[in-house]
Amino acid sequence: SQTIHQWPATLVQPVGSPLSLECTVEGTSNPNLYWYRQAAGRGLQLLFYSVGIGQISSEVPQNLSASRPQDRQFILSSKKLLLSDSGFYLCAWSVAGRDGYTFGSGTRLTVV
């Protein structure tokens, strides 16, 4: 069966520290992968998406970056976190976009 793993579940990081969030998918090949951020009381903001290894599209300019070193692995990173980076980060995958997304369980990031 197809599953998506996202970790860690929660993270508290000081301002200026680096960030690495990882997402892996099992049970499918060549998925489209996505990183979303959800701020409190707001909808989902698409940050990055990838249609293949090494192919990253950025939707919002910011101090975050993404990488896809393997077919089913998607990493969200930052060199120096800002307070405004706090939020709930969600990874998702799809094969045929019109079938909808499958989301991971999310990472709650608090920058202090």
Partner 1 sequence: AQSVTQPDIHITVSEGASLELRCNYSYGATPYLFWYVQSPGQGLQLLLKYFSGDTLVQGIKGFEAEFKRSQSSFNLRKPSVHWSDAAEYFCAVASGGSYIPTFGRGTSLIVHP
For binding to partner 1 (CB under 8 A), which residues are involved?
6, 34, 42-44, 46, 49, 90, 92, 94, 96-106, 108
- Distance in Å, CB of 91 to partner 1, minimum: 8
Task: Name residue 46's amino acid.
Answer: L
Question: Is residue 44 within 8 Å of residue 106, measured between CB atoms?
Answer: no
Q: Look up residue 50 and give its two tokens.
A: 């990838």
61 vs 97 by CB, closer to partner 1 = 97
Question: Is residue 45 within 8 Å of residue 36, measured between CB atoms?
Answer: yes
46 vs 56 by CB, closer to partner 1 = 46
- Distance in Å, CB of 103 to partner 1, minimum: 4
With 0-12 / 13-18 / 19 or more C-beta atoms within 10 angstroms meaning exposed / middle / buried, residue 96 is exposed
Cis preceding linkage at 8, omega within 30? yes
- Distance in Å, CB of 37 to partner 1, minimum: 12
15 vs 51 by CB, closer to partner 1 = 51
